[in-house]
Structure formats: C-alpha cells, structure tokens
Structure 1
Amino acid sequence: MSNSVVTTAAIEKDDNVIWHQHNVTKAERAQLKSQQPVVLWFTGLSGAGKSTVAGALETELVNQGYHTYLLDGDNVRHGLCRDLGFSQQDRRENIRRVGELTKLMADAGLIVLSAFISPHRAERALVRELLPQGEFLEVFVDASLAVCESRDPKGLYKKARAGEIPNFTGIDSEYEQPEKPEIHLKADEHSVAELVEQCLSVLRAQGVIG
C-alpha cells in the first residue's frame, strides 16, 4: 500500500470519527476515587531506576488507598506496541501510543505512572500537550551514564558496546535531558525510599493526594 493511499484513508477516517462524550465525567470518576488524576512520566537512561522508583511509588500509593496504574516500557511491547521495532520512527510511535493510553487512563481518574526512556524532548512535549495543564508531571530519573552502565541490569549496555544493539540511548543515540522537570530525582545520590518520598511530597503539594 502506498503512502498516498494510507494518508487518504487516514483523512477519510478522521472525517468520520467523532469523539463521543459519555454521561459519566472525568471529574466524577476522580471524585469516586478521592484523588486527582495525573500522569507521572518517568524518563531517564536505561538503568537509571525509572521502573524501580515508579514501582515503589505505586506500591506506596496503593498502600495509602489510591488508584493507580504503572506502564512499563518493556511490558507495553508485549501487547500494545508488539508490532514496533526500535528504529527512530518506531520509537516515536511507541511514545505516541503510550501517551494516548495515559490520557485515557487519566480520564478514568487514575494516577498513571509511565516509565519510558523517551529520549527526546519533543516526544515528551507531545504527551504533555495531550493532557490538561498540571496533569502531566515529568519525572527525570537522573543517573550518570557511568552509573547506569555499571548497573546494566539487562546486559544491554554490554551488548550495545559490542555493536549488537544499534541506536542505543546513551551510547550511539542521544538522550535529551528534561530542561524543567516537575520532579528531578538524583537517582545515584539517594535511596529508592528517599526518591519515593520526594515524589509523594510533590503530589501532596499539588493536591493530587491528601
């Protein structure tokens, strides 16, 4: 199928697909859960601790009675994004899909935690634009390349250094650090418990949790 055919089909579909507003509102779903919906977007190098911190934060939130969902980079590639590879185009599409999914989950009134390298500022900005003001919190899990490479929990840096994984972020593909993240976690200087408490403090200050 040519690009022109795909483009035309997409335009025709867009013209005939209309968003349906349901009776139950986002505010009502959030009120039922006694919380404010929000997306915490954890970004950082592989091995920085994104999934570890996000998982520990989710556990603490659930223990306090809040309704959450954690989206992990590897997990979504088993289903939602299983058809995507790791080219620049596919990685952008991966983030676009996840962004749309977080929007729907926030509409359900959830506190959504998304742990993705998401190396480019433009892609993270596109996700931010999907959500209302204040509902997207960029969480920069900041650990140096040396620390991440020394951890290498999946052996990915070793494979990248050996040329087995092309376009690996931090090695032969650029990571663009957030310029003004809502939460900046110095992951190589603090314990997971301290990083979780830092996140909780911001959520309390913004009225997401009590």
Structure 2
Amino acid sequence: MLIGIPVLFLLSAWAGSSIPRNAGWAETQDGVEIFIGSNGIHTEIVMPVYSDVIDWRGQFALGDIQSPYRNYTHVAVSWGEKTFFLETQNWSDLTPSVAVNAMTGGSGIMHVAWYVRPAPSEDFRPLRISHAEYEKLVAQIKAQIAPEISRQIYTGYSYYDVFYDAIGTYHIGNTCNQWTSDRLSAAGIKTGSWTPLPGGVMKWVPSLDQR
C-alpha cells in the first residue's frame, strides 16, 4: 500500500502534466524572451531585469544579496514552501520531516536569483512571449510578492540569490512547480494542467534541439 501511493502520485503527475492549458499558444517572433529553468527540484521563471514593462529592481532590492554590484541582466523568480525551499537545494538534502511538512502544507516563500547573461541549456530553456503576455506574467508574479514592510528576508543558496516571505499556502495541489505553470497559464502561455514535478513544466518548453 505504501509503495502504491508514490506510484499513483507519479502516474497522476505524468497524466496531469500531459493535459495542456492554452493548447493553441505559440511563441512569437518578437516580444520578450524569458527562460524557464529547472534544477531538478524547483522550476523558475527568468526575466530581463529591465524592460518597458517593469524594472525588477523596483520590486527586489539588489542590496538584499551578498554581491549586489555585478551587471545583472536577468532575474529568476520561483515560489515554494518555506522549510522545503530553504533546506532542499538538492534532492540529497531532503529529509523525511521536511517532506512531511511540505505534504501537509506550509507558508509560501519566494526565491529570487540574479543572473548575468545566462546561456540557454537543456535545464535553462528560452521562451519568447508577446508583450501582452509578459505584462500578464509580471502582474501574476507581483500579486504573489508580500508587502515590503512586512516580508522577512532569508539568506539564499549563494552570493546572487535571496528568499522573501510570499503570499500563498503550499500544499500538494499547489507545489513550487505548479506555481510556475499556473503563472504561465494565467499569462496565456501553453503549459501542463497539473505539474507537481519539474518535468511536467519543462515538457512544454521546447528543448534546444527542437528549435
């Protein structure tokens, strides 16, 4: 029985992520280039630091990271459960207590990382969207940012990233990867219906050899 639960979860995750939202969507020739990144656990939405839609430095202070003076060109945003995100950079960091806490629900936290001219790769895939879609995506992300006056700041994994308290509650139906696909879907971009795992998000972003 205990073995069957993980198998059932994996099968349902595969099936749910295979059902598309915004099935007729296609990339644009112009617009804004974003990236969807994955480290094997969490996915992230990577955007230009500055565009005519938003300057992300007005939302997240560079002074919150250890190395604020580099010429950052992109900012990555992702969301998840506070304890899980802070303590599981890699699968090897996962403990039973953290997993149980995440499964039963927890407070939302936002991970923000700053990059300099990131290079496309299989785990860091470009996606070109229209300006209207980018405006919707930005609005979706901003709606999840906790007010600056009340949000707490947490040390990141490295010198270029940081965590902030965020709006929302994490649970099995609203994982970090589901958050990514929900933001994309609300902006009108094609993605999976239920994507609790990173592969369910990345399967809808063309790989480099598909371009």
TM range (shorter): under 0.3
Considering only CA atoms, is the larger Rg found in Structure 1 or Structure 2?
1
Greater share of helix: 1
Provide TM-score, normalisation by structure 1. 0.25
Provide TM-score, normalisation by structure 2. 0.25
Greater share of strand: 2
